[in-house]
């Protein structure tokens, strides 16, 4: 890399960081629920799914509360008035059936963006430190393993995609789905001697996924006045097309994490060929 390119790149990065910092500090000193940043929607606390889960009884929470009195919540406004049914209820916690997903992507979506960045940086560090050091050649696997890994790879890929597409319905989500996809690529790398992992393609896919994540957040910022706010209508709980932005973001995270981890694994095996 030329020196001038490096200097211009770091200058642009510095400007972006300073602008973002100014933006965040402005947000910190604005009064809550008065300025432009905070109020997303008028949240009705009765509609919170977590309250039903705290009571460990989703279907009969209101009955349970009626029999146990006020000892759980001093404020009577918090008592859930409706019960939650799969395929019928709407707008509880942004319509996601999996409560963990609803917290990870909706309440702390910005934190998830930070997690993805941390993973990215750690993969870069790993490949820089260990990649290319491997000198010992792997032993040739047997015929059964070679055939089996070629046969199993699409199934593993499909399973990973299933995990992150159903992130808002069942346990799972973007990170486990991406890890499963990376394990499929690891199987190919170990099982097939001739397999070459296309590192440049995976890097492009990964950067595009990261860009999509940030741009979804920016669309939320323009539409609902808050970064990573949900701008898609939340459907009915339990359906595939529900939970609005959660499913979209989990698909993006799954692709990004899968590409990242498999790039790391491939670079550990083959070493850095560019240098």
Partner 1 sequence: MFIIGVILITIGVTFSTLGALGLVRMPDLYNRLQTSTKATTLGAFSTIIGVGFLNPAWLIKTIVIATFILLTAPISSHNLARASHKWGIPLSDKTSVDKYDSKSGKKE
DSSP state, 239? S
Nearer to partner 1, 141 or 271 (CB): 141
Site string for partner 1, 135-164 (x = CB under 8 A): ----x-xx-xx--x--xx--x---x-----
Least Å distance between CB 187 and partner 1?
10
Nearer to partner 1, 55 or 152 (CB): 152
Nearer to partner 1, 129 or 144 (CB): 144
**How far, in whole angstroms, is CA 90 from its chain's centroid?**
23
Q: Please report, for residues 3, 5, 12, 67, 226, the alpha-carbon distance to residue 17 in angstroms, rounded to integers and kept in the order given.
A: 21, 18, 9, 54, 19
* Interatomic CA distance for residues 188 and 185, integer angstroms: 5
Nearer to partner 1, 85 or 198 (CB): 85
Nearer to partner 1, 26 or 142 (CB): 142
Nearer to partner 1, 152 or 268 (CB): 152
Least Å distance between CB 200 and partner 1?
31
Least Å distance between CB 170 and partner 1?
12
Least Å distance between CB 152 and partner 1?
6
Least Å distance between CB 8 and partner 1?
51
Cα end-to-end span (Å), the chain: 12
Least Å distance between CB 141 and partner 1?
7
Tell me the number of residues near partner 1 by CB under 8 A: 10
Residues 159-198 that bind partner 1 (CB under 8 A): 159
Beta-carbon contacts of 78 under 8 Å, excluding residues fewer than 6 positions away, are 45, 46, 51
Q: What is the DSSP string of 97-156?
A: SSHHHIIIIIITHHHHHHHHHHHHHHHHHHHHHHTT---SPPPPPPHHHHHHHHHHHHHH
Q: Looking up tokens 């939650």, which residue turns up?
A: 84
* Interatomic CA distance for residues 94 and 111, integer angstroms: 18
Which H/E stretch holds residue 21? helix 3-29
Binding site for partner 1 (CB under 8 A): 139, 141-142, 144-145, 148, 151-152, 155, 159
């Amino acid at each position: 890399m030329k020196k001038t390119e490096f200097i211009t790149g770091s200058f642009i990065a510095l400007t972006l960081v300073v602008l973002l910092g100014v933006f965040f500090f402005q947000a910190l000193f604005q009064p809550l629920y008065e300025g432009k940043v905070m109020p997303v929607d008028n949240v009705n606390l009765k509609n919170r799914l977590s309250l039903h889960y705290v009571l460990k009884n989703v279907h009969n929470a209101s009955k349970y509360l009626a029999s146990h009195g006020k000892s759980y919540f001093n404020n009577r406004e918090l008592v859930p008035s409706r019960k939650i049914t799969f395929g019928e209820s709407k707008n509880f916690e942004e319509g996601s059936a999996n409560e963990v997903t609803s917290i990870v992507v909706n309440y702390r979506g910005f934190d998830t963006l930070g997690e993805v960045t941390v993973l990215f940086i750690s993969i870069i560090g790993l490949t820089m430190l260990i990649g290319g050091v491997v000198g010992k050649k792997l032993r040739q696997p047997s015929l059964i393993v070679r055939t089996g890994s070629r046969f199993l790879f699409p199934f593993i890929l499909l399973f990973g995609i299933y995990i992150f597409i159903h992130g808002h319905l069942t346990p799972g989500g973007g990170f486990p789905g991406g890890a499963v996809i990376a394990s499929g690529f690891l199987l190919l790398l170990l099982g097939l001697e001739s397999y070459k992992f296309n590192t440049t393609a995976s890097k492009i896919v990964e950067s595009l996924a990261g860009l999509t994540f940030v741009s979804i957040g920016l669309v939320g910022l323009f539409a609902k006045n808050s970064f990573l706010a949900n701008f898609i209508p939340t459907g009915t709980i339990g359906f595939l097309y529900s939970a609005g932005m959660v499913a979209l973001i989990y698909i993006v995270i799954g692709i990004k994490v899968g590409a990242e981890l498999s790039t790391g694994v491939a670079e550990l095996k083959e070493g850095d060929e560019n240098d």
